[in-house]
Amino acid sequence: MPYIFISIGCAFVVFFVAGLDRTPWRYSSVADHLQVAVLTVLAIVLALVLTFALNRLEPVARSLPVFQGALIVSILISARSAARFWHARQIHSNGKSSVNGQPHETVLIVGVNTLAELFLLSVKESASQRVQVAGVLAEETSMRGRAIQQKPVLGTVEELPNILQSLEVHGVAVDRIVVAATSDRLRPSALETLLETEKTSGIVIQFLSEQLGLEDTSREPSVHSGQERDGVSGRRAGAQLGNVIDVYANSTRRSFWFGKRIVDVLGATFLIFMLIPFALLIAFIVALDVGFPVIFWQQRPGLYRRPFKLYKLRTMRAPHDKRKGRIPDDQRSSAVGQILRRIRLDELPQLYNVLIGDMSLIGPRPLLACDQSADYGARLSVRPGITGWAQVNGGRIITPSDKLMLDVWYVKNASFALDFKIVLRTVVMILLGDRINTEAVKWARSDVGLKTSFRTQIIPAE
């Protein structure tokens, strides 16, 4: 009993002093979860020291602190994760009608100040499903590596061309740059970089102070003219979800996709626990081969075209040399990386994507936004998968149009029996390599075809 009361008191003191509950749980992140673990260990250690001073821990079982720590961490992290998941589901449910069919925009912010924080908070509150902030550009190099509202400071404004190239490697295409700093506070070189970027790309440069009516209107406007902005908006609208099919049209299909999600969660959880030692060994080999970080991510359009981060084990060396020069892709590959890609082991981290709901175990493979054809938007009406019908019937050696048609065919004909067949064929594909199944391609061509139109509105099931 003394240990119980002392540990409860220590936990209250440590958690309160560290400000663990200063923010709502629905905004928790990995950093918050790490803080929970660290503070739990600190509280238990403090309780053990005080109890030892009182009665030398004679009535306390040695396994009790370990069990207690594991229980505290599990409950606190689970509660926060559940609150975050529930909040995300509520936002998704409330915003489905307004989000579907609207363009998803990627934004860079220039400036480290209160106005930049206000913009980030506004995006989080009102446009989190539509606007994605890729990062922040600072005026000073000392801010590099820091974070504002959990958005990383990628570098300075003068480094913008290199930063855009780096984001491009990760599949992130920037649509707009929001300048939170006033033009008179930017260095001439920074302003020149912004204007040059505006001239040589389709990226819109927008001064936030102008939008708020705080800028001197006598100076020349530095953003796109109305005609240019309309052109950019037109191109962006043309890249939206094109042809989609109603995969949730009846209760039978709804129950299938709901059951498929349950299978995904259970399957991903089982595979993660089973493969953790194997994955750590592969990560160690990757670190020796190409260095750190061992995880590579790319932004891909997922369910309803919402962008998400696809994780892979790195199989290529850094895209730039020590002098910031671009290294050709064929010179970045390694023998180990080629083997991992051949047997698909580089995709092990995507089990995490499945667990958090970005992906499914089986479904159309997620493409880069530039490779997603509007004519085959139906493949975006379901969660993308680690493996899929197109992968087991030709994979990397069939034409892009055939691959897209196979994906759409799967969306129309998805079932547990078909998923089981894909699992078996995935094993064969890993062992024997990619082989074209001409019959499957023929079925997809006849059933889908280039002239088939699927312009039905997406009706989300969840």
Q: Where are the domains of the chain?
A: 2-99, 105-238, 251-447
Q: What's the pLDDT band for 228 if we cut at 50, 70, 90?
A: very low
**pLDDT (tens digit per residue) in 395-408:** 888 888 889 999 99
Contacts of 457 (CB under 8 A, 6+ apart): 100, 101, 244, 246
Q: Which of 6-15, 34-43, 379-388 has the highest mean pLDDT?
A: 379-388
Q: Is the pLDDT at 459 greater than 70, yes or no?
A: no
The whole-number pLDDT of residue 108 equals 94
**pLDDT (tens digit per residue) in 179-206:** 998 777 788 888 889 888 888 887 888 8
Beta partners for residue 131, in sequence order:
105
Whether omega for the bond prior to residue 65 falls within 30 degrees of 0, making it cis, is no
Contacts of 204 (CB under 8 A, 6+ apart): 175, 176, 177, 198, 223, 224, 229, 232
Give Cα 285 distance to the centre of its chain.
25
Structure-token pair, residue 310: 């696809």
Q: What's the pLDDT band for 22 if we cut at 50, 70, 90?
A: low
Q: What's the pLDDT band for 94 if we cut at 50, 70, 90?
A: low
Among 95-109, 213-227, 389-403, 432-446, the range scoring the smallest mean pLDDT is: 213-227
**pLDDT (tens digit per residue) in 109-141:** 999 888 888 899 888 888 877 888 999 999 888
What are the backbone dihedrals phi and psi of residue 177, each rounded to the nearest 5 degrees, phi first? -115, 115
Nearest one of 29, 25, 18 to 149, comparing CA atoms: 29
Q: How many whole angstroms separate alpha carbon 404 and alpha carbon 407?
A: 5
Q: What's the pLDDT band for 154 if we cut at 50, 70, 90?
A: very high
The whole-number pLDDT of residue 358 equals 92
Global pTM reads 0.59
Beta partners for residue 152, in sequence order:
147
Q: How many whole angstroms separate alpha carbon 169 and alpha carbon 158?
A: 19
Beta partners for residue 313, in sequence order:
295
| Beta carbons of 179 and 195 less than 8 angstroms apart | no
The CATH class that applies to domain 105-238 reads alpha beta
Instruction: Tell me how far CA of residue 394 lies from CA of 216, 399, 440, 442, in angstroms.
Output: 59, 9, 9, 12
Residue 132, classed as helix, strand or coil, is: strand
Mean pLDDT of 11-16: 86
Q: What's the pLDDT band for 21 if we cut at 50, 70, 90?
A: low
**pLDDT (tens digit per residue) in 62-77:** 888 888 888 988 888 8
Beta partners for residue 316, in sequence order:
333
Q: Is the pLDDT at 453 greater than 60, yes or no?
A: no
Residue 145, classed as helix, strand or coil, is: coil
| Beta carbons of 290 and 319 less than 8 angstroms apart | no
Percent of the chain with pLDDT over 70: 81
The whole-number pLDDT of residue 182 equals 77
**pLDDT (tens digit per residue) in 254-302:** 788 889 999 999 999 999 999 998 999 999 999 888 888 889 889 899 8
The whole-number pLDDT of residue 360 equals 95
Among 40-44, 150-154, 243-247, 389-393, the range scoring the smallest mean pLDDT is: 243-247
The whole-number pLDDT of residue 222 equals 44
Q: How many whole angstroms separate alpha carbon 150 and alpha carbon 124?
A: 11
Max Cα–Cα distance, the chain, nearest Å: 81
Residue-averaged pLDDT of the chain: 80
Q: Is the pLDDT at 310 greater than 90, yes or no?
A: yes
Mean pLDDT of 205-214: 79
**pLDDT (tens digit per residue) in 408-448:** 999 989 999 999 999 999 999 999 888 888 888 888 888 87
Contacts of 225 (CB under 8 A, 6+ apart): none
Residue 153, classed as helix, strand or coil, is: strand
Instruction: Tell me how far CA of residue 166 lies from CA of 72, 154, 298, 456, 462, in angstroms.
Output: 40, 10, 11, 37, 35
